[in-house]
Structure 1
Amino acid sequence: MATLLHLDSSAFHEPSVSREVTAIFRKEWEDRHPGGTVIYRDLAKEPLPHLTADGIVSALAPVDSHTPEQAAAAALRSELADELERADAVLIGTPMYNFTIPSTLKAWLDQVIIVGRTAGEGGSVAGKPTTVVAARGGGYGPGTPRESFEFVTTYLEKVLTGMLSLDVDFIIPELTLAKSQPQMAPLIDAAEASRAQAEQDAVQKAKTLAERFAA
């Protein structure tokens, strides 16, 4: 049966739009793959260590030359790469924090991008379908005043496709702060429409991928 790698990175559990939309995607996937496997990492609840010099060197130096610290760092990177390689599809939930992704998600990326294994020409995860739910409190789409401040999808598209050669698709619920910020009250209807579209997209994309990997 198919395997889904599901990552959440929002610091909040309730409310969290990115978590709620990834949960909808995952439920649809699991309903269609009741005997399948979901590898789940809550990067906020159990954050990974940042990539260190030991982790970098361990990917370059012969195994028999590793110090104990390098061996431990290499083991973690290998574990994360194994999870990514085992997955038939990947689901990533991320909010926008200060115009970009949470550091917890960046830590996962730095650990899992291993040139010569997962990354680079002939990488082991090339072409793997990846759905990113990128929630944001305001509006950053084309033509908006803050379009140039958007470094979530622009960054993730470059790193996921350029380094890992993943097949990336985005779901973008935006204006998520409309109900909690009085100055955004005129945008509540637009926020609700964006949320509804994101939920619909999550169901449809999960359904399409689940059918693709049907036994």
Structure 2
Amino acid sequence: MPRLLHLDSSARTQSHTRELGARFAARWREARPDGDYVYRDLARQPAPVIGEAWTSICDTLLAEQITDPADYPCAVRTPAEREAWAIAEPLLNELLEADVVLVGAPMYNFGIPAALKAWIDQVTFPRMSLTGTSFVVVGARGGSYAEGAPRAPYEYQESYLRDFIAGHFGIDDVQFLTTELVNALVDPLLSDLLGTHRASRTAALAEVDALAERVSTP
């Protein structure tokens, strides 16, 4: 039975990122009526930032060469570590049990939201592998950071997530769908780009529909 883990991290209740994520999840579930769906809103229920006890668990995993997540509890020994593990374990289990991970990641200040980074830190342990898991990242950006755009060198949202997911989890199957230039809706200085934003949104929604169908098909 396939399982979709859907993460939202937008600070806005209504946002372009949430629109894309909800659209993908709906299409995926329509194509997989027998599938499981797990949703976590990291902006509304944020994961705490990691502390020293979390790092000491990682030190033990490294020192004792523990690489199987099923054996991670063996590295949890002190009261402080047990408190840290009580936070990380359910988040990690959701990730490990997912076949598809849908990440809603808007660009904030050239990067990803702090709420998403806190979740990443909680579920990331030494020498982890998520081979066989598919990742879909949907997001929105105030300007344009696409290749060739003047601000492309300042893009640390998609590039960070792509490098991290591939570099740490060993996954090349990462798809990114983005609505660009959303600030054209509110910034008079970008009003001449409103048509470009609308075209970007329309294209992203169409790509979401197509990708949800492909990801849902064995």
Q: Normalized against structure 2, the TM-score is what?
A: 0.89
Is 1:141 matched with 2:146?
A: yes
Q: CA deviation at 1:65?
A: 6.6
Residue in 1 that maps onto 2:42 = 43
Is 1:13 matched with 2:13?
A: yes
Deviations 1:64-109 (A, max 9, x none): 7722121121232222221111111110011111110001000111
Point out the structure with the larger helix share.
Answer: 2
Question: Structure 2, unaligned stretches of length 5 or more?
Answer: 62-73
Off by >4 Å, runs of 4+ in structure 1:
none
8 Å contact from structure 2 (residues 16, 139) kept in 1: no
Residue in 2 that maps onto 1:208 = 214
Deviations 1:35-84 (A, max 9, x none): 32111110000000011111111233384772212112123222222111
Residue in 1 that maps onto 2:3 = 3
8 Å contact from structure 1 (residues 58, 71) kept in 2: no
Residue in 2 that maps onto 1:187 = 193
SS of residue in 1 equivalent to 2:13: coil
Query: RMSD over aligned Cα, in angstroms?
Result: 1.5
**Partner AA of 1:190 in structure 2:** T
**Partner AA of 1:85 in structure 2:** L
Deviations 1:120-157 (A, max 9, x none): xxx2x123110001210101111211111110011111
Cα distance in 2 for residues equivalent to 1:198 and 1:127: 25
Residue in 1 that maps onto 2:92 = 81
8 Å contact from structure 2 (residues 21, 102) kept in 1: yes
Q: Normalized against structure 1, the TM-score is what?
A: 0.91
Question: Structure 1, unaligned stretches of length 5 or more?
Answer: none
Residue in 2 that maps onto 1:33 = 32
Selected match of 1:102 from 97, 104, 113: 113
- CA change 1:60–1:79 in 2 (3 A) is farther
**Partner AA of 1:6 in structure 2:** H
Q: Percent identity?
A: 38
Residue in 1 that maps onto 2:176 = 170
